[in-house]
Every structure is written in C-alpha cells, then in structure tokens.
Amino acid sequence: MSTTETAQLLAALTQQNELLSQMLEALRQPKLGLVEAPALMRIYANRSNHCLWYTIRDGEVVPITATALAGYIQELRFETVERRGQPVVKLQLYLRGDRPYCVESGYDSNFSKGVLAALATMSPQQLHHPVTLSPQPGSDETVLFCRVYDATGDLIRAAYDDQTNWRMMARRAIANVEALHGQPEANWGTAS
C-alpha cells in the first residue's frame, strides 16, 4: 500500500469514526415532544384476561399487542405479593429497554419455567447483551410459555421436564444475572 493510499484510508477511517460518534451522540439525546413516561411498566404474563400479557392502567387491563419484549436484564427475583387478597409468590424479571419493565408471572408457571431455564443456561457474558422474551400460547387456554432469544436472535434452547430441580435452576438463573451486575447471590426467594 502506497503512502497516498494509506493516508486516504486513514482519512476515510477518521471520517467514519467522526460520523459514528455523531450517531452515538444523537442516540443519547432524550426524545422530545410527546413521549411515554420513563416510569416502570409492569407486565403480567398470564392468559387470565384473554391475552398473552397485559399491563394495568388506571385499574383497567390493557392487553399488550407486541409479540416480544427486548431489553437488558437488570434483576431476577421472587417476590411474595398480594393478589385477590391472598399472598402468592411471583417471579419478577426486570429489564431495561426503551423504559424500565418488570415482567411478572407465577413462580411455577410454564412462562416462569421457560425464563428460568433459559437464563440458567446463558452465561453472564451472553446476558451483557439484550434478550428478547416472547410469550407463546399453549394448546390449553390457560397455558403460556416463554421463548427467550439472545442478542443474535437465536432461540435459547433449555430443556426441562417433570424431574427438573427448579430450586437449583432458579439459583443458577439468579446467579447468572447477579454475576452480570457483580451482585452477591441474595434474593433467591422462597419458591420451592
């Protein structure tokens, strides 16, 4: 390569680098005008309201029509919450996408099992990238599964059956998420 060609290549790379920096800066700018509030959106993953998942606004169920949710995993935990006057254990998965999200499902639901199995299979390095959750209806009107895709769009295949030790699976999934953020293995919940 001649000196002139090298200089032209360096100039082109410098210009490309400058353009990429400008694009990154533009992406960091806040959206202006009418936008959604950046408050946490809680998504309930179950089929009890004739949809795959929904949120609640002003006391009303609002079905979510999107077929998937993509974001960076922030936290995975089990929480005892009150639903219909009774304490129940829920799996809560916190993600950051265009806003913060919490996807909640019964701790022993098929949806939760799919999430736990996938996250237990993934490495903390894989979790540094966004994942995509996609609710999938079962043949029974009450069953909801969850498919989890990695950042490349590949389905995370994580087998489980009736013999699966879910406590151990949950510990691995939570440990992977906590390793991602450098947190101690703290909130493994009370679900068995």
Whether 126 and 119 have beta carbons less than 8 Å apart is answered as: no
Average pLDDT rounded to a whole number, residues 19-33: 78
The verdict on residue 107 lying in a domain is yes
For residue 14, the enclosing domain spans: 1-30
Whether 191 and 167 have beta carbons less than 8 Å apart is answered as: yes
pLDDT in the model for residue 192: 37
Do residues 70 and 105 share a domain? yes
Do residues 118 and 142 share a domain? yes
Do residues 21 and 54 share a domain? no
Looking at the structure of the chain, the number of domains it has is 2
Do residues 21 and 104 share a domain? no
Residue ranges of E strands in 19-143: 41-45, 53-57, 60-63, 69-83, 86-96, 100-106, 131-137
Do residues 102 and 73 share a domain? yes
The verdict on residue 98 lying in a domain is yes
Average pLDDT rounded to a whole number, residues 65-70: 95
Do residues 64 and 116 share a domain? yes
The verdict on residue 77 lying in a domain is yes
Instruction: Provide φ and ψ at 134, rounded to 5°.
Output: -135, 115
144 or 180, which is more confident = 144
Enter the tokens of residue 145: 């599964």
pLDDT in the model for residue 188: 38
Q: What is the pLDDT of residues 129-144, one digit of tens each?
A: 999 999 999 988 889 9
The chain-wide mean pLDDT, for the chain, equals 88
Do residues 18 and 73 share a domain? no
Q: What does 13-50 look like in DSSP terms, one character per residue?
A: HHHHHHHHHHHHHHHHSPP-SS----S-EEEEESSTTS
- What pTM was estimated for this model as a whole? 0.77
